[in-house]
Structure 1
Amino acid sequence: MMTDESEAHVDYTPGSGNVFADLDLPDADELLAKSELVHHIVSLIRRRKLTQKDAAVLLDTTQPTVSDLVRRRLDRFSLERLFVFLNRLDREVQIVIRPKREGAHPAAITVRTETRRASTPKATAA
């Protein structure tokens, strides 16, 4: 049982939101973008209950490449190749270039996923 308040204190440093930057890795924004894209690809593969072999056929690649995706081997994939995989999984990839946010330093690369909502059918005139 801890009774001394100094024993209960834990020092920590708040994260930046990018673990790769927190680890001071080069190209941290690109690594985070790849990580998020791979996560989305693997989630789609799992949601469809595809085997790695079936996913490889769909993605027009090999089973070992799908294994690298599942194991998050980010160094094996370019952003462009991940975009192609997403297209083959029926996902649109949109690249938006805009001025950096006020106070943001430096400008960053971000990935944002969007869930398409079911649209309400339009009424037609009879």
Structure 2
Amino acid sequence: MTETNDIEISSGNVFADLEMSNPEERLVKAELARKISEAIEKRGLTQTQTAQLLGIDQPKVSALIRGKLAGFSTERLLNFLIALGNDVEISIKPKPASRSKAQITVVR
């Protein structure tokens, strides 16, 4: 018996591929959370130290690191990056003609 596997090419946004609501916002928040986790690790901070620095409790730090982002706005995540010693730069430019929709991306 021969099995076939259907392969679907990703759009580049797993949240859109899974047909979740607000996929662009979810992707931005996930990327910001990844940057926050990297900053925490780079500084060698414990979750308790991070909580104190960010002004939140330790369980929220744990949720943030595990990607549970429902209680965090994009603005709040940006402020966490600033509190962790990062400059945040927002750049606005026209989308390329090759893409049908404008998008938000996190780069570094």
Q: How many residues align?
A: 108
Given the alignment of the two structures, is residue 63 of structure 1 paired with residue 52 of structure 2, yes or no?
A: no
CA displacement 1:32-84 (0-9 Å, x = unmatched): 00000001101111222211100111112211211111121121110100011
With the length of structure 1 as denominator, give the TM-score of the two structures.
Answer: 0.79
The CA RMSD over aligned residues, in Å, is: 1.5
| Distance (whole Å) between structure 2 residues aligned to residue 92 and residue 26 of structure 1 | 29
CA displacement 1:2-22 (0-9 Å, x = unmatched): xx8xx3753201101100010
Equivalences for residues 46-85 of structure 1 within 5 A: 46-85=41-80
Q: CA deviation at 1:109?
A: 1.2
DSSP-derived class of the 1:74 partner: coil
DSSP-derived class of the 1:76 partner: coil
Aligned letter for 2:22?
D
Given the alignment of the two structures, is residue 44 of structure 1 paired with residue 44 of structure 2, yes or no?
A: no
**Partner residue of 1:120?**
none
| Distance (whole Å) between structure 2 residues aligned to residue 27 and residue 109 of structure 1 | 12
With the length of structure 2 as denominator, give the TM-score of the two structures.
Answer: 0.90
Aligned letter for 1:44?
A
**Partner residue of 1:14?**
9
Identical amino acids, percent of aligned pairs = 44
- Return 5+ residue gaps in structure 2 as ranges: none
Q: Which has the higher contact order (CA 8 A, sep 6+)?
A: 2
| Distance (whole Å) between structure 2 residues aligned to residue 89 and residue 41 of structure 1 | 8
| Distance (whole Å) between structure 2 residues aligned to residue 96 and residue 42 of structure 1 | 23
